[in-house]
């Protein structure tokens, strides 16, 4: 029998296609969509804007509860605001990207954002696709379906360089690997594949093929297979 709601967790390193895949799958299946990386970027943006010393975890922890972060979960037009300000653009700057791993490693930040993520997921009436680094392992360990996307560093760097309009592939590759290493080695809920996640290597797949693969997995779950 087909189940009414479905919770899908999609994790993986940077540039493996989590956001593109999750948005498309959610739109196709009528589910909500949550980009948890955008939430960590938003809190990092707030820390930078408020002059918080990013090198000092206790300073970050002391103010982790202050910013109000609101995520819109329509996959065709996801939104993110901090204290009512639209930060969808500013959270993608190099300044934020280079500091987000340090901010997201602070346990008080993770506790705050994890609580927000669980609340958004439980409010999603038709189900939700939630993408990030620790969704299957920590945020939603009871998700109906867990996917772990991977891709070679070369494929990921080529994709990102294309997005950044010809940025140097080698330095893009190094920056990706540096962020992955920081995200995988932090003590609190590091980037990791859940034991029961389905791993999909996207290196040789088109985005459309990855989307079809995930849609099929969700439909099988919904059908109770
Ligand atoms: N299978 C694929 N083949 C080719 N390009 C892809 C594929 N999947 C995603 N892309 C492209 O790669 C880039 C990165 O994808 P996306 O932002 O979805 O990755 P991500 O895993 O969410 O990254 P991050 O964790 O850094 O936010 C985008 O330009 C996207 O269009
Ligand atoms: N569940 C998550 C999602 C993201 N992060 C951190 C680590 C990433 O480097 C950063 C930005 O994510 P992106 O926009 O690249 O997906 O946010 C995390 O710790 N946990």
The CATH number of the domain where 26 resides is what? 3.40.50.300
Strand, helix or coil for residue 24 = helix
Residue 93 lies in a domain: yes
Token pair recorded at residue 128: 């939700």
Q: What is the largest CA-CA distance in the chain?
A: 54
Q: Of 177 and 3, which is predicted with more confidence? A: 177
131 exposure class (CB count in 10 Å sphere: 0-12, 13-18, 19+): buried
Does the beta carbon of 223 lie inside 6 Å of ligand 1?
Answer: no
* CA 48 – ligand 1 centroid, Å: 26
132 exposure class (CB count in 10 Å sphere: 0-12, 13-18, 19+): buried
Residue 90 lies in a domain: yes
Give the pLDDT confidence of 165-216 residue by residue, as tens digits: 667 888 999 999 999 999 999 999 999 999 999 999 999 999 999 999 999 9
Residue 147 lies in a domain: yes
How many domains does the structure of the chain reveal?
1
Q: Whose CA is nearest to atom 10 of ligand 1?
A: 17
Residue 1 lies in a domain: no
Residue 2 lies in a domain: no
* CA 205 – ligand 2 centroid, Å: 23
Phi, psi of 163 (to 5 degrees): -65, -35
Does the beta carbon of 11 lie inside 6 Å of ligand 2?
Answer: no
Give the pLDDT confidence of 122-180 residue by residue, as tens digits: 999 999 999 999 999 999 999 999 999 999 999 999 998 877 666 788 899 999 999 99
Does the beta carbon of 152 lie inside 6 Å of ligand 1?
Answer: no
* CA 133 – ligand 2 centroid, Å: 6
Residue 115 lies in a domain: yes
Segments forming the whole domain that contains residue 190: 7-223
Amino acid 224: pLDDT: 84
């Amino acid at each position: 029998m087909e189940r009414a709601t479905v919770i899908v967790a999609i994790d993986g390193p940077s540039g493996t296609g989590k956001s593109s895949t999750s948005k498309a799958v959610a739109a196709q299946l009528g589910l909500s969509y949550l980009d948890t990386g955008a939430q960590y970027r938003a809190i990092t943006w707030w820390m930078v804007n408020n002059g918080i010393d990013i090198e000092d975890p206790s300073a970050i922890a002391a103010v982790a509860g202050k910013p109000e972060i609101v995520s819109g979960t329509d996959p065709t037009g996801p939104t993110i605001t901090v204290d009512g300000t639209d930060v969808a653009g500013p959270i993608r700057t190099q300044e934020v990207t280079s500091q987000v791993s340090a901010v997201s490693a602070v346990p008080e930040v993770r506790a705050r954002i994890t609580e927000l993520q669980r609340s958004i997921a439980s409010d999603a009436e038709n189900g939700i696709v939630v993408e990030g680094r620790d969704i299957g392992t920590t945020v939603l360990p009871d998700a109906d379906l867990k996917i772990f996307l991977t891709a070679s560093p070369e494929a990921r760097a080529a994709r990102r360089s294309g997005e950044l309009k010809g940025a140097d592939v080698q330095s893009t590759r190094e920056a990706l690997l540096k962020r992955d290493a920081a995200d995988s080695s932090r003590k609190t809920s590091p980037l990791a594949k859940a034991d029961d996640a389905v791993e999909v290597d996207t290196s040789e797949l088109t985005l459309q093929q990855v989307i079809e693969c995930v849609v099929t997995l969700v439909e099988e779950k919904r059908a109770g297979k």
